[in-house]
Amino acid sequence: MNKTLIIAEIGVNHNGRFKLAKKLIHEAKKSGADIVKFQIFKADDLTTENTTVAKYQEITKFKKQYLMLKKLELSDKNFIKLNDICKKIKIEFCASFFNEENLYLIKKLKLKIVKIPSGEITNFFLLKKIASFNKKIILSTGMSNLQDITRAINVLIKFGTKKSNITLLHCNTEYPTPLNDVNLLAIKSLKKHFNLNVGYSDHTLSKEVPISAVSMGACVIEKHLTLNKKLPGPDHSSSLNSREFKLLVQSIRNTEQILGKEKKFVSKSEKKNIKKCRQFLVAKKDIDKNEIFNLKNLTCKRIGLRGISPMDLGKIIYKKAKKAYKKDEKI
C-alpha cells in the first residue's frame, strides 16, 4: 500500500508559548511524523466574548472561549519562525485556518497543504477564500453529515480547488472520543460516496484506533502531540506524548507492510517451502513398467522435492508407466 501521511497535530498544545511550539516540532520530527500542524487564528475574529467553552474545554478552567483562545494565540511572526524551523529540520509545516484575515499566511508560508477544521466546514466565507489558492486541502468532517460535506466540497470546487486536491478526514469532534462513536466504517463510505482520498483524525485515548483506520484504508492519520498530558490546555489529555507518538508511527509503518497489496500471490519468503510442505504423486506400491496408473497404485506424500501435483492426477491416470517404480518413489 502507499505510505500513510502522518500528521503530528500540535494545534494549540504550545499553550501560546513559542519555545514550547519549537520543542514540539523537534519531538514530531524525532517521532517520524511527516507533517506538523498548527492552528492559526485570532480570538477576536473567531468568537464572541460571551461564547461559553465546549464541554471538553472546561478542563482549562476558562468559562468563555474568547479568554481561552486569547491565551492560546501565537503571532504571525511566530508562525513564520516556526515554519523556518520546519524547513531547517525537514518536516513539513501545515496549518488549519479559522479566519479569513489570516489566510495571507498561506502564501507567506508557501504552504503545500491547508487544513480546514471540522468546525469550519460550514464557513462559506473561509471555504471560498481558501479555494482561491488552489492548494491541496484536507477537509475534516467532524460533526458533519453527507450534506454538509457535499456542500463544502462544492464550494471549494466552484471557487478554484481541483477535486483531486481534496482529501477528507473522517473525524469525531469529542475529546476524548468514546470508542462506540468512532465509526471507522465511515472511511469506506466516504471513499465510495465522494470518490476522494480519505484519512482519519483521531481524538480517542486508544492507540489501536488510528492503526485500525490505516487497515480500513485511511491515507492520512492525524493525532495530537504533547510533551505532557497534564499540561493546562483543552487538548493535552487526549494527545499522545513523544514516546507514544513514536510507537504509533512505528505501528503504522508495520501495518503498511502487513497490509501489502490487494492481490493474492505466493510470497518470496514462502516459495521455498512448497516442495517441503506440499504432497506430490508417488507410487502407493511397487509399479511395473507398462503397468496402468490407477487409484490403487498411486497416492500422494511429502517427498521434499517438487513433483506432479495430486491436482494434476488426470494427466497420468490410466496411462502406462514408462518405467518401474518402487513404493514411495516420485512419479
Q: How many domains does the chain have?
A: 2
The single-letter DSSP state of residue 177 is P
Same structural domain, 37 and 172: yes
78-129 pLDDT, tens digit per residue, is 999 999 999 999 999 999 999 899 999 999 999 999 999 999 999 999 999 9
The torsion angles phi and psi of 137, rounded to 5 degrees, stand at -125, 135
Helices (H), the chain: 18-31, 43-46, 65-71, 76-89, 104-108, 124-131, 146-158, 186-194, 208-215, 242-259, 268-271, 274-277
Nearest to 90 by CA among 11, 7, 29: 29
Q: What is the pTM of this model?
A: 0.89
171: burial class by Cβ within 10 Å (0-12, 13-18, 19+)? buried
Cβ-contact 8, 35 below 8 angstroms: yes
Count of positions (residues) in the chain: 331
Q: Name, in order, each residue with C-beta under 8 angstroms of 284's C-beta and a sequence gap of 6 or more.
A: 296, 297, 298, 299, 327
- Is residue 322 a part of any domain in this protein? no
- CATH number reported for the structural domain that contains residue 74 in this entry: 3.20.20.70
Nearest to 302 by CA among 285, 283, 277: 277
Distance separating alpha carbons of residues 66 and 171, to the nearest angstrom: 24
Last residue of a domain, one of 259, 277, 296: 259
Q: How confident is the model at residue 1, as a pLDDT? A: 67
Helical axes 18-31 vs 242-259, angle rounded to 10°: 30
- Is residue 320 a part of any domain in this protein? no
Same structural domain, 226 and 302: no
The single-letter DSSP state of residue 310 is G
Residues spanned by the domain of 253: 5-259
Q: How confident is the model at residue 61, as a pLDDT? A: 82
Classify strands 220-224 and 5-11 as parallel, antiparallel or unpaired.
parallel
- Is residue 294 a part of any domain in this protein? yes
User: How big is the chain by its Cα radius of gyration, in Å?
Assistant: 29
Q: How confident is the model at residue 65, as a pLDDT? A: 93
Please identify every stretch of the chain with a pLDDT value under 70, giving residue numbers as ranges.
1
- Is residue 111 a part of any domain in this protein? yes
The single-letter DSSP state of residue 305 is S
